[in-house]
């Protein structure tokens, strides 16, 4: 009983939808021959556009959630210090940290990579050169006074990261 009612109900609403769609279409086609050409092409173009736009959005979202978090990280302030852990493993992760001007920054370098290439980290703009012990956190502290992009790198400048200082 119930399911029969449901089926009839949905069929009726489907029919109504169809009717509305056809009504719209016939109203459009009656408005001239020049329009008829567009009517065939436009829906396809719109469909392609919507599909392409949708996939692009999905891709962007995926990229944002999966990758951008690793690439760039906005550093939160805790008790007046902007503190973030940077994992050193075949490079720096995150390789870009975003901080604010005039507030102390503490970068906690956690070295996971035994490669001697990464045993030192340099922040020339802040006159810092630190030795990183393997499997240990080495804090590096400074207070950026001016907005800008400040590079940090390994001792040989092969691996690089950026401290982006915002106003």
What number of CA atoms fall less than 13 Å from residue 96's CA on the CB side?
Answer: 11
Which residue among 71, 117, 129, 137 contacts Cu ion (CB under 5 A)?
117
Contact status: 129 vs Cu ion (CB under 5 A)? no
Min CB(142)–Cu ion separation in Å: 21
Contact residues for 67 (Cβ-Cβ < 8 A; gap 6+): none
Q: Which residues pair with 163 in a beta bridge?
A: 97, 150
154 is a contact residue toward Cu ion (CB under 5 A): yes
Q: Please, which residue, 83 or 113, has the CB nearer to Cu ion?
A: 113
C-beta closer to Cu ion: residue 21 or 117: 117
Element (H, E) at 138: strand 137-142
Quote the least distance from Cβ 90 to Cu ion, whole Å: 11
> By CB under 5 A, is residue 122 in contact with Cu ion?
no
- Judged by beta carbon, residue 144 or residue 161, the one nearer Cu ion is 161
Q: For residues 147 and 167, is the Cβ–Cβ distance under 8 A? A: yes
Give the burial string for 130-167 (b: 16+ CB within 10 Å, else e). bebeeeeebebebebeeeeebebbbbeeebebbbbbee
**Interaction pattern, residues 12-51, with Cu ion; x per rule: CB under 5 A:** ----------------------------------------
For residue 156, state whether it binds Cu ion (rule: CB under 5 A).
yes
Residue pair 111/105 in contact (Cβ under 8 Å)? The answer is no
Pick 58 or 158: Cβ nearer Cu ion:
158
Q: Residues in the site for Cu ion, rule: CB under 5 A?
A: 117, 154, 156, 158
């Amino acid at each position: 009983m119930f399911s029969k009612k449901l089926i009839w109900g949905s069929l009726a609403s489907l029919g109504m939808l169809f009717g509305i769609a056809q009504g719209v279409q016939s109203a459009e086609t009656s408005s001239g021959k020049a329009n008829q050409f567009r009517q065939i092409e436009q829906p396809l173009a719109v469909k392609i556009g919507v599909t392409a736009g949708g996939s692009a959005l999905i891709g962007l979202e995926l990229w944002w959630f999966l990758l951008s978090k690793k690439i760039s990280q906005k550093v939160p302030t805790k008790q007046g210090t902007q503190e973030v852990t940077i994992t050193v493993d075949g490079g720096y992760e995150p390789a870009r940290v975003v901080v604010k001007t005039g507030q102390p920054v503490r970068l906690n370098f956690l070295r996971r990579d035994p490669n001697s290439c990464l045993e030192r980290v340099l922040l020339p703009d802040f006159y810092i050169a630190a030795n990183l012990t393997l499997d240990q956190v080495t804090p590096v502290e400074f207070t950026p006074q001016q907005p800008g992009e400040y590079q940090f790198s390994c001792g040989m400048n092969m691996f690089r990261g950026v401290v982006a200082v915002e106003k």
